[in-house]
Structure 1
């Protein structure tokens, strides 16, 4: 039997997934059911693009519901309350990009909560995986497609 992979989440992230699941089950399913009903009312469904579109959307919604349920059922909540002296999932870190002498700040989260545009990077991302376990003052080399990048860990909270 395949090993079940844990989904690392913050308590906030788990709550967001539960709300999204509820929305998809109660609202989105009903919307697509209405679209299907309207498409069937148009007549012959063998050449009905409205019906085909609604069936495709229904398949997407059902797949997304299954994905959300799996993430919720395998969720492991990240303990954000303990202070750490090493970078771990749940840590907020301030880094110095040595090449550009530019500071960046990230929160390290599980892949389900990653949102790079809001400075939430996955522990599985190149930067996230490279800095896990590092301490304040450490220099960490991250492999990127453009070559290695060196970050100094300035702060962990």
Structure 2
């Protein structure tokens, strides 16, 4: 598999999540042990819930562990270009509606559209990569093909990044 771009802040966040998940293991094991001691496992909702929680926890740990070696950690404060690349903040205008939107291009593991960032692998991200101010792009969206004009490409660095 190819390398996966991620900001330093995104990498730190996912590393902390992994640490937190691993710290939850003993409590889940204890909950399973206590539920098992209650007797008949076939009708033990506490046991089933604890096992399900353990399964979800282990699945997330496995997922993160499988991605960690693939991450290409990038320092947003050291990036610059006149073209849209990972880490750039791009302002676009919908040519039909004249609605202006701003996106920061990040990797799939630290992008959060609620905070104004999108994945470089998303349809919009793919359309923006390599483009510069004044270029027009077409994005296939659920409502159909949308044409945008790129108004600006900036690099705000880690100060402009909103990772929760």
TM-score with structure 1 setting the length = 0.91
Residue 103 of structure 2: which of 106, 127, 131 is its match? 106
Q: Map of 1:38-117 to 2, 5 A cutoff?
A: 38-80=34-76, 81-117=78-114
Instruction: Give me the whole-angstrom Cα distance separating, in 2, the residues matched to 1:148 and 1:91.
Output: 23
The one-character-per-residue Cα deviations of 1:9-52 (angstroms, maximum 9, x if unpaired) are 000000001100000001x2123122212211211223212111
Instruction: Give me the whole-angstrom Cα distance separating, in 2, the residues matched to 1:24 and 1:14.
Output: 15
Which consecutive residues of structure 1, in runs of 5 or more, have no partner in the other structure?
A: none
2:10 is the alignment partner of 1:22: no
State the shift of 1:7 in Å. 2.0
2:131 is the alignment partner of 1:134: yes
State the shift of 1:79 in Å. 4.2
TM-score with structure 2 setting the length = 0.87
Which consecutive residues of structure 2, in runs of 5 or more, have no partner in the other structure?
A: 155-164
State the shift of 1:58 in Å. 0.5
- Compute the RMSD of aligned alpha carbons: 1.3
Equivalent pairs counted in the alignment come to 153
Instruction: Give me the whole-angstrom Cα distance separating, in 1, the residues matched to 2:125 and 2:79.
Output: 19
